[in-house]
Structures are given as C-alpha cells and as structure tokens.
Structure 1
Amino acid sequence: MNLEEKLQMLRKKNGYSQEQLADKIGIARQTVSKWENGQAIPELNGLILLSELYGVTIDRIVKDDDECNILLCKSADIDLNKVVSFLVSAKKNTYPVNENKVQSSRMKSSDFCYAENEYTYYDTYLGGEKFTGEEAVWYYDNPIWCMNYTGRIIGDNFNNGFLKEVLLQVTEKFPYRGPQMYTKGDYHYHCKVDGEFVWFQGYEDIFYLDEKIYECYFHGGVIQ
C-alpha cells in the first residue's frame, strides 16, 4: 500500500471529506487532493497534524513495510460513518423512549441494549438524581467506541421528560448527547464538546429560567 492510498483510507475511515480534512488541519482542499493523487507528498508539519488527528504514528503513515501496513489497516478497519449512524439510531431507541431495556448487568443498574446487523449498543447507568454510566458500541464481538458520563440534578423544577426530549434530538453531525442548544418553554439545554468522535470530552446543562438545575460531564472515543 503506497502513501497516497494510506492517506485516502485514513481520511475515509475517520469520516472526513477532503474539504473537512483540509479545514481540520488548516490547508487547502486542493492540497489534500494532490496528496491522495500522488501529485505531492505531505511535509513534516502536515504529517504531524495527520498523525495527531488520526491517532497513528508517522511511521505507520509513511513506511511501506508490511508490518506498518498491517497495523495501519487494522487501526482503520472501522467505518466511522456507519458507527455514527448506528449510534444515533441506538440512542433514539433506548433510554429516551424507555425501550429495549434489558436485565441489569450489575446490582441496581439500569441497562439498555440495541442491535442492528453487525453492531450492538449497550447503555448502563447507576443512580438517580446523581448518576454515572457508560455507553458502548461493539462491531461483531469487538468493542469499538465508548462514552462515560456522570451527572446530577442541582435545582428544583427538573423535568426528566424534557431531558429525554433533548436526547431524542441527537444527530449524526453531533452524536454525543443532545444538540448544542434546545429550548422549550422555560427550559433551556446547552451542550459543548471539545474534540472529535474519535476522542472527545463534553458538558451539558439545563436551565429553568435563569437557574441551572442539571449538569452532566461526558468523555470518550474510539477504542481498539
């Protein structure tokens, strides 16, 4: 596998178009196109940015030996676009609608499980007004993505129905919790995420009028 083939494979497996990748690392889309067509070779700074974005070493990107190629193919074997699409479907068919609930995996835990074709999703949490939990996705029998979360109710007038309505607004462009902003009546939801689907951390809160009544921290990413 030559360099241009590796660059194209890594971009697609991480769910980026050429334009999106260019925006992420601060270069022109035409430069990405030239890299992938073999018309140009990334300079050192470009390789460093690609290595950090994709979470692979520069050696695995540039070396043409079999060992590096095998390791790179294995690390990029998951189609993240399909994972995100499945995850959004799973989220909308479990906790927010109280469906696909399964037997507790731990003492006093609440558990949900959802599957489509080769993918399986599991959400398990402990607690009530103060809670902690984990969402994860498997590809066949292999765990490939996970998110941990912990939150609490900190004020009066909390409405769990509003939170569930928010969580149903999850999209493939923002596949973490709810949307960045959502308002209904006197309730206002906000969500901020730093990072990308492969490695991220975030925070969400709910206000009733001007009072913060709920907050939740979460983080996660692709696992191998």
Structure 2
Amino acid sequence: METKEALAAVRKQNGLTQDEMAAKLFVTRQAVSRWETGETTPNVDTLKLMSEQFGVSINELLGHGESPECQSCGMTLKTFEDFGTEADEGISTEYCVYCYHDGAFSTERTLEEMVESNMKHLAEYNQEMGTDFSEEDARTILKAHLATLKRWRQPAR
C-alpha cells in the first residue's frame, strides 16, 4: 500500500470526511486532498499528530507493513525521529535522518565509505541481533546488501 492510500484508509476507518480530518489536524481540506492523491506528504509534525490522534504507527501511515529501511545506509526506520526530511518539510519515506535531510543527502560518500561508517556499529549490531559477525564477514555482507539499496543500485544497462 502506498502512503497516499494508507492516509486515505486511516481517514475512512475513522469515519471522517477530508474537512473533518483537516480540522482535527489543523490543516486545510486541500492539504488532506493532496496527501491522498500523492501530490504531497504530511510533514513530520503532522504525521506525529496523526499517529497520536488515530492510534496508528508511522509504518501504517507510510503504507509499510513492516519497518522500512534507509535506502542509503540500511538502518531500520522505526520511529518518526528516524526518518529524514524532504525539501518541503515532508517526511522522507526512503531515507533516515542521518543520511538525508531537507531533500538532500547529508554527505557525499562512496559505497565503500558507507560500509566503513556502518562498521563502527558492528558490536552494537551483533549484540542487538544475537549474531557474532567478524569484521571481514560483516564487510562482505554489508557491501552486498547496501549495493541493493536505491542510493547505491547501479542502473540497468
């Protein structure tokens, strides 16, 4: 399900018109309409308010069944604070706050530099996941995985 469909579903599940939803969120009906057509995405503060008002998770609001991952570093995006921002102050559904804000990548780096940046968190990752990857194995796995993410994927030839 796409974000626009998820937002419309939340509104309908709560039996609200676009005008009623707009009033609850302190926005215009036109803003709600633009979200539901996919023209724009609510900003972070509005998404937080929606989550609180309607008792839904960020994943549900963004149309994800399971936690998405940053398409640059691979970090799992679990909370509102994890998501980056677009230039229009909307939430980025693809990138984390560390990699992307105001519609641009935070730093220019190569895939290899991203691997090394992520390697700083290997001990924490191993503890959290109950794994025991060596640095060599982690580098190999990480490089292969990151290469599948949007930022690093090579265009088809």
Q: Which one has the bigger strand percentage?
A: 1
The answer to whether the superposition gives a TM-score over 0.5 is no
Q: Tell me the TM-score normalised to structure 2 length.
A: 0.40
Q: Which has the higher contact order (CA 8 A, sep 6+)?
A: 2
Q: Which one has the bigger helix percentage?
A: 2
Considering only CA atoms, is the larger Rg found in Structure 1 or Structure 2?
A: 1
Q: Tell me the TM-score normalised to structure 1 length.
A: 0.29
